[in-house]
Amino acid sequence: MSTKIPITCVVGTRPNFVKMASIIDALRRQGSFEVQLVHTGQHYSPEMSEAFFEELELPEPDVNLNVGPGTQTEQTAEMMRRLEPILSSQRPEEVLVVGDVNSTLATALVASKMGIPIIHVEAGLRSFDRGMPEEINRIVTDALSDSLFVSEPSGVHNLLAEGIPESRIHFVGNVMIDTLMRFREKASRSRILEQLGLEPRGFAVTTLHRPSNVDDPGSLRGFVEMLGRIAGRVPVVFPVHPRTVGRIQSAGLDTTGLILTPPLGYLDFLHLMSQARLMLTDSGGIQEETTILGVPCLTARENTERPVTIQSGTNRLVGADPGRILSAVWEELDRPFSTDHKTPELWDGKAAVRIAQVLEHHRQPMAVLT
């Protein structure tokens, strides 16, 4: 008899919804696993919860921890406190975590202390910048994990350099790309361009969420003013979190010319990205998605934990200085648009299937948490 598989899905963290959709689908098709979904409630909002579950065909959560917002420490501690009795009740033989968010770290810590083996999907990514909370989450989770599934070759190199035995590392490809390929045709039926009055390849899209870019009033002012200049040449769509909207308003920043929207559903945003002339982001997941879509991506950071997106030629690091970013934007807009790109190894839509096959080979019941 198989043990139920608790799955923690991180609310409000868009990439982990996307990754988990592929994993759950593959586990269902494999037929050997009984999946239970546990929802932490991290960064809860209807736009980034119910809509994502429906669009990505995720099952309704069996358990909702309702943790809600808080500081990094508050969230992690509260998730650990609420998660422990769930794992104690289910007592799975393994726990699988995805990505690098607070839920990932909290789950890994609880499972480790309870003696439950841990599987980490998207292991080994490193920005080598410990000022990023996600970097700490990655390092600690990987150190605690027993089986590590890697999305790109750099992850294998990083884990080996950190002393992880090769026998525990599995290079399987990128589950986020699995979901993109699975839903791309469905996303193409989105009416988001018509709703926003946009023409294909005639607009730019930006997303900003890292504290270093949006929490500091000076940095946020510089970004908004820079986006206004870009909007003088091409429309700029800015799906913005309500918290960031509040910061823009409290600082009295002028958003004239920008197309501000609430956080978009997965299908609308995928179609928006696929038709954009240019992406400007500080998101790791968008660096990956634009690599497959062949859309130029300028990453407003000094580093990336996903170097394969640069090697493929679609992603460029442009830092956080508005002047430097603006120069890169003008350079990109001045060159002819081309979707030519190199697809990274094993980014073929079958990563989650490979994960399920490895788990099936081990024939062990497990719990899946992201």
Nearest to 368 by CA among 116, 76, 12: 116
Handedness of CA 344, 10, 58, 48 (dihedral sign): negative
Q: Locate 116 and state its tokens.
A: 């439950």
- Report the amino acid identity of residue 294: G
Number of neighbouring beta carbons within 10 Å of residue 36: 20
Active site residues: 209
Phi, psi dihedrals of residue 183, rounded to the nearest 5°: -110, 5
Return the half-sphere exposure (C-beta side, CA atoms, 13 A cut-off) of residue 361: 8
Crossing angle between the packed helical segments 14-30 and 284-293, to the nearest 10 degrees: 70
* Cβ pair 210, 72 in contact under 8 A: no
Helix (H) or strand (E) holding 353: helix 351-362
C-alpha span between 342 and 291 (Å, rounded): 8
C-alpha span between 169 and 159 (Å, rounded): 8
Handedness of CA 251, 252, 254, 258 (dihedral sign): positive
